[in-house]
Amino acid sequence: MKAFRISTGWLLLFASLATSPGSALAQQEPAADPMPELLNRLGDVEGRIGYLQMRRDSAVGEDVELFEDQLIRRWREHHALLEELVAATQKAREDGSEELDVTERVRAALEQEFGSITRRAEHLDGRIRQLRVARPDTPAAQLFDLEVQLTELNAALDELIGAAAADIKWAEVVNAELGPDVGLFDHRLADRAATIAARIELARDQRAALVRRSAKAGADTVTIKEEIDALDEKLHGTTTSLQSLVRVLETRDLPTDGYRRLLLETTGDIGEDILNPNVVGGVVADRWQKILDWLRQNSAGILVKLATILLVLFVFGVLARLSRRLVQRALSASPVETTELLRRLLVGIAAKLVWLLGLLVVLAVVGVDVGPMLAGLGIAGFVLGFALQDTLSNFASGLMIMFYHPFDVGDYVAAGGVKGVVHSVSLVSTVITTPDNQVMVVPNNKVWGDVINNVTAQDQRRVDLTFGIGYGDDIPKARAILEDILKSHDLVLDEPESVVRVHELGDSSVNFVCRPWCRTEDYWAVYWDVTEAVKQRFDAEGVSIPFPQRDVHIHQVGGTDDA
């Protein structure tokens, strides 16, 4: 074979040189006639085929398969040579150089090949029927291997059918007599295509039924999986076979639109079929008709289910609102003190649980099995737990804040590095409004994991003030002034008692601590009022408020009088 390829390459090279414009060979000799070489090759291949047939008939064991494989290879080579010979014969006829003995030789080879194809096709068809008869009794574990064998045999049969269609077409060129099978060819071709299409539709229905059966509890999933695998192989083999038959049907001018639609629906392989309006239109029409038929058969049930779903949603919506009110009333009437944050959490959870129950009822009405769904949610929750560790940490911290309530909505706190009034708390974050009206969203794990300073947690608060007087001022007088200011202020509480004491002797002043008590909401009013009043009274009473100062002493050592 290698030597043949090399010689063919040299022939092509010389042919191209001989036919190129202006070449010397083109001017000296005409192109060589390929017919003699093709006929010689045809004779060699036919001799080889005869020898291989004899060896195959006498072979045993695996040698039968060996010689069968070689026969198929030589037959394909013979078929390709016939195609070249028919094309060369037709060209010679058009050029007026046809030789009748050559045409007769091609005609005889064509008739012989067609007869051989017919016999081999009948043999393959018989083997296919035997396997199909044996399929119902085949164990599920062996079904896949059987379908693989059927796929291979059908592929070989389809190749023979395509070759037979080509032989029939070539027979018109050389006026070959192919026998009575030619008249039945189109009928058998159409019948085989219709049978293959029916097998595809049946396999699709069987596969869908197996998938539905596998979803039921107690199903033998192993056996079903083996049967589904076998059906997948069957669909692969039958669709491949139908694609091959469609190409042959086109050469015979037989209808193919229905088969193309089936292939498009089964394989989803659009290819050139998308450009065929009959195919696409047929697919759309079939799908639309199926939708209409389904709606016609199930419209009453759909309306009942839809009405039931709407009724369930309405009822559970009412129940959700009612549960919110009941929980709110129960918390308000409970002797146990609860924070606003905890009340919001419990009310929200109650409403959401009612809606969750309503959703489960809706799924049951639709026909969804909620058991596997709940199991899947458990697995999904396990996986999400690793992916959302920070969020879950915030969630846990939010629960701790809700139940231990270190602060409530409206409290002024310092938490998580932020100071301000608590606006709201969710399960993952705390919203704080700062004194300059900025909104800060702080993760709950940062709030709970740090020191929480609740400034407004108590009803009363002490105001800590410090005032200094000069070292030369009267201490009892200054203390009396401070005590009088505190007693005369309306917002300063009598209990607990205010404290005014000499606290320290500073660098430049004698410092008093002044610690009145007031209501928490009056803190800044007392702070600012007392500070202003002390300054005014000290000025009026002649008590100084010193500022920082330093005494500098200069010592002169060893000086002289230069005057």
**What are the structure tokens assigned to 534, written together?**
């002390």
Peptide bond before residue 496 is cis, with ω within 30 degrees of 0:
yes
Collapsing DSSP to helix, strand or coil, 73 comes out as helix
Collapsing DSSP to helix, strand or coil, 543 comes out as coil
CA distance 162 to 247: 8
Q: What is the pLDDT of residue 152?
A: 92
What is the Cβ-side half-sphere exposure of residue 325, based on CA atoms within 13 angstroms?
6
Scan for tokens 């839809």, then name that residue: 306
Q: What is the pLDDT of residue 181?
A: 79
- Length of the chain, please? 563
The fold adopted by the segment(s) 408-454 is SH3 type barrels. (2.30.30)
Of the candidates 316, 323, 388, the one whose C-alpha atom is nearest the C-alpha of residue 356 is 316
Domain ranges of the chain: 1-32, 99-272, 276-387, 408-454, 460-541
CA distance 155 to 393: 62
CA distance 393 to 415: 17
Neighbour order of strands in the sheet with 499-505: 465-469, 510-515, 499-505
Task: Please name the amino acid found at residue 292.
Answer: L
Task: Please name the amino acid found at residue 538.
Answer: F
Q: What is the pLDDT of residue 14?
A: 35
| H or E segment and range at residue 431 | strand 429-433
| H or E segment and range at residue 141 | helix 140-174
Of the candidates 521, 530, 528, 524, the one whose C-alpha atom is nearest the C-alpha of residue 498 is 530
Q: What is the pLDDT of residue 558?
A: 62
CATH number belonging to the domain at 460-541, selected among 3.40.50.720, 3.40.640.10, 3.30.70.100, 3.40.50.800: 3.30.70.100
Cβ neighbours of residue 1 closer than 8 Å, sequence gap 6 or more: none
Q: What is the pLDDT of residue 16?
A: 39
Tens of each residue's pLDDT in the chain, 563 residues:
333 333 333 333 333 333 444 444 344 455 567 888 888 998 999 899 889 889 988 888 888 889 888 989 999 999 999 999 999 888 888 888 888 888 899 899 988 988 888 888 898 899 999 988 988 888 888 989 999 999 999 999 999 999 999 999 998 888 888 888 788 888 888 999 999 999 999 999 998 888 888 877 666 788 888 888 999 999 999 999 998 998 898 888 888 888 888 887 888 765 554 445 655 565 566 666 667 776 777 777 777 778 888 888 888 888 888 887 887 777 677 665 666 666 676 777 777 788 878 877 777 776 666 666 555 555 555 555 544 556 777 777 877 877 777 888 888 999 888 999 988 887 788 899 998 899 999 888 888 888 888 888 888 999 999 999 998 899 999 999 999 999 999 999 989 999 999 999 988 899 999 999 999 999 999 999 999 999 999 999 999 988 776 667 777 776 555 44
Q: What are the DSSP calls for 434-501, one per residue?
A: -TTS-EEEEEHHHHHTS--EETTSSSEEEPPEEEEE-TTS-HHHHHHHHHHHHHH-TTS-SSSPPEEE
CA distance 555 to 162: 128
Scan for tokens 């139940």, then name that residue: 403
| Sign of the alpha-carbon torsion through 50, 56, 59, 65 | positive
